[in-house]
Chain A
Amino acid sequence: MAEHALIAMRGIVKRYPGVTALRDVSLSIEPGEVMALVGENGAGKSTLLKILAGAARADEGVIEVSGQVVQVHSPRESQAHGIAVIYQELNLANDLSVAENIYVGREPKTRFGTVDFNAMKSGASRLLTSLGINISPDEIVGNLNIALRQMVEIAKALLVDARVVVMDEPTSSLTEEEVETLLTLVRQLRSTGVSVIYVSHRMREIFEIADRITVMRDGSVVGVCDAQTTSPNDIVQMMVGRELEDLYGIRTVPVDHTATPTLEVRGLSSGSLLHDVSFAVRPGEIVALAGLIGAGRSDAAMTIFGAVKRRRGEILIAGQPMALRTPNEAMAAGIGFVPEDRKHQGLFLGLSVRENMSSASLPRISRLSVVSQRRDRELARRYAKQLGLRESAIEVAAGTLSGGNQQKVVLARWLARLPKLLILDEPTRGVDVGAKAEIYQLIRTIAGEGVAVLVISSELTEVLGIADRILVMREGYGVGELDAAQATEKRVMAMATGVQEDGS
């Protein structure tokens, strides 16, 4: 161990009106170390990172770089100390090229004061190659997938000689395969002596790359563990501060396999992304659509829900063929749909939790188009209670809630319609462990009440943990179906990627 930590935060206290977000938090990172920072949403991780990034100021405490106390009062000062923060929301100009994004604000100049595009391109190219990233510097960023965009962001950070790279949930929207690419890059960084602070909810990744793990809860650090000598279960328990019951729950009501399927899809095709997909979901059954991003899972969901135009194929609801040309028709047929992208497709962020919850049930709580204020409030209260949201949150803007609570609001919207079929696209993305368990429990409960559930998820452990049956998709085709009993991560992955499994 070096004499001085590369970066050390000591005794950090941050108070907001009414709450203490951080109490006496200390964190230190050695050169070339990957430090995982974990904790439930609201544990104070984001606040701590904001202080490190110079986006917020600590009320007490100091930040040291190589043993020297430094002032970090603006993002610029933070960068000057070699700290680069990569936020969940990427800061890239989607219409510009990779090279232009990497050099933004630091463009090399020619003798005449114009931008030296050649120097920029070759510089970017060298940087990308050294990181093992295989993208052309001329590529327009908007054409890249999320993982590659993230890599561009990392490259951008390293251009200014970052000594520590902070990644805030970098894999939350990546597929398993993309995650691997990112983790390889993290290892690459470590080998060149760059330190990484890695914030994530995903235990598997954390244990794959972290040297040490700092666990936060309620604004304090509750432990710093050596990744070699700790188990994921220990970490999860430290995070939630209680014994975590089996996360996914177990089926209590058996599925009636003779029942008419609530949803049956035959030869479904739409656009270029969905080809001849067939499957069925019975009442009370939980079926998962697994596959890589772009495999057509969300398109299948959107097509069933009438949000994407169906080209060919049949959709049967309770045995009856249905047109389902619009979301409205799908809703009338008893389908509910929790979309993948909560912020852009799910929530009305600026409107209250109450308005969000009743948004799909207005006709039921209105008479002659006049919304009954009383029934509106009752609906919100009932579902807030059922989903474990505080009653005081009902009139608050949905955008101010944590990821887990936001997801509960979207779920409430559909539960309020008492659906026969509920389609959940990435139901636990960006949701902390505690809320995840609650959402799984909720899925179990509604399935137990006879609702057919179709879950789309990029987290294989989630797919295996919750589903009775798994349909694997690849490049728009259904490539196989597995019973929960016979499914393993390896088998699903092999089907999803099309790589032959060896030894089975």
Chain B
Amino acid sequence: MTSNGDFVKQETHDASSTKQFAPAITRVALGQKTLKGLKKIVTARESTLAAVVILLVVYLSWASPYFFTSGNLTVVGRQIGLALIISVGMTFVILIGGIDLSVGSVVAFVSVLTGVFIVNLGMSPIVAILLALVGGAVVGLVNGSINAYMGIPSFVVTLGMLAVARGLSLGITSGSTISGFPSEFLFIGQGAYLGIPIPVWVAAIVAIAAHLVLTRTTFGRHVYFVGSNEEAAKLSGIRVRRVKISVFVIASTLAAVSGILETARLSVGQPAAGNGYELLAIGAAVIGGASLFGGVGGILGTALGTSLLLLIQNALILLGISAYWQQVFSGVIIVGAVALNMWRKQRN
């Protein structure tokens, strides 16, 4: 008790002395502004999560001599990047209160398409990539249109698409993989720029752009409106269907981007790629504070959620825990994070 009181006294004393030393009013005002900004950062929903991620990184650097090697960081960074691209798209869908279970199958579908275009048909990689992206976008267009125009819940629509896209990938390749990509294509998955893997660059650009779209543009506002209250959005003149379809197109297209990068990283187009990615992406968004009822969530939270899930995976490998146990940890973390979030909300 006493030590606590002393500590408080100490702090107030410090604060008043800084004020005394501040020469001009502007300096004080500026200080208050930064203080206010700092307070905003500390109390933000994402701050706890950020602290957890930082603690984990610190712990891993201490617990394993391999964590902070450039080899390991490259691997982890690339994994986080590839997953984040998908999670960002998933965040858009979850924000409108929907879900997209087909993103993992889209990764496979696009992986196969890229293989067919480049290896089998000999197209130039750029054309092939563009066509593959279109393929991904079309999947989203179908998901979104069925959801928006027929009113079938996105869970059901994308569950169907999960099977259809996977089946198409298997059908096109008869279940086999496609290899023999040119090296300039493989560069986008395996190469680096300024020492940072290309997928990390792409993920960073995607995440920043998505964050700006959600926080700064009318479309971003519309996404939150539709997720928060669809009926009210409609009666506020928002074209709800258009927003829904756009969101599914974004999710599928981003899954396609990730699928192309992954194909380049593994040097094979494979119909088994992306298995279970949808759950990773949903988990990441939810850990990041997104509500499955829509209207709540953001890219910053999703990025932290993705990092947390993949760092834990990496930690288990580095600490020599069998890969078979990984999913147990992921599952516990997802539920734990949501429980923590709800507990915080209730306390407020």
Contact = CB atoms under 8 A, between A and B. Distances in A.
Same assembly: yes
B218 A351 contact: no
Interface stretch (A163-171, A285-293, A339-347, A377-385): A339-347
Given A351-B224, A351-B228, A371 B216 contact: yes
A2 B147 CA distance: 64
Contacts of B231: 344-345
Among A351, A360, A373, the most chain B Cβ lie within 10 Å of the Cβ of A351
Interface stretch (B58-66, B233-241, B251-259): B233-241
Given A348-B225, A366-B218, A359 B296 contact: no
A350 interface: yes
Given A348-B224, A350-B296, A359-B225, A413 B236 contact: yes
Contacts of B36: none
Interface residues of A, number: 28
A328 interface: yes
A345 B235 contact: yes
A370 B239 CA distance: 18
Interface in B266-306: 295-296
Nearest to B239: A328
B229 interface: yes
A495 B177 CA distance: 77
B201 interface: no
Contact of B218 (A337, A350, A369): A369
A348 B225 CA distance: 7
Interface in B191-247: 216-222, 224-225, 228-229, 231-239
A351 to B, nearest CB: 5
Nearest to A359: B236
Interface string A351-372: 1000100011011001001110
A252 B87 CA distance: 58
A366 B216 CA distance: 9
Contact of B228 (A339, A345, A349, A373): A349
A327 B235 contact: yes
B235 A359 contact: no
A350 B228 contact: yes
Among B228, B233, B238, the most chain A Cβ lie within 10 Å of the Cβ of B228
B245 to A, nearest CB: 16
B228 A307 contact: no
A327 B235 CA distance: 6
Contacts of B218: 362-363, 366, 369-371
B235 A337 contact: yes
A56 to B, nearest CB: 14
Interface in B76-101: none
Contacts of B219: 369
A412 B224 CA distance: 19
A348 B235 contact: no
A355 B221 contact: yes
Contacts of B229: 344-345, 347-349
A63 B217 CA distance: 54
Contacts of A248: none
B228 A327 contact: no
A331 interface: yes
Among B233, B235, B238, B239, the most chain A Cβ lie within 10 Å of the Cβ of B235
A305 interface: yes
A47 to B, nearest CB: 18
A413 B234 CA distance: 14
A266 B237 CA distance: 24
Contacts of A307: 234-235
A327 B237 contact: yes
Contacts of A363: 218
A370 B237 contact: no
A93 B222 CA distance: 32
Contact of A370 (B216, B228, B232, B295): B216
Contacts of B295: 348, 350-351
A326 B236 CA distance: 10
Contacts of A355: 221, 224-225
Contacts of A366: 217-218
Given A331-B237, A355-B224, A360-B237, A347 B217 contact: no
A371 B217 contact: yes
Nearest to A348: B228
B207 to A, nearest CB: 18
Interface of B: 216-222, 224-225, 228-229, 231-239, 295-296
Interface of A: 305, 307, 326-328, 330-331, 337, 339, 344-351, 355, 359-360, 362-363, 366, 369-371, 373, 413
Give the 10 A-B residue pairs with the shortest CB-CB distance, closest first: A348-B228, A362-B218, A331-B237, A328-B237, A360-B236, A327-B237, A345-B231, A350-B295, A359-B236, A369-B217
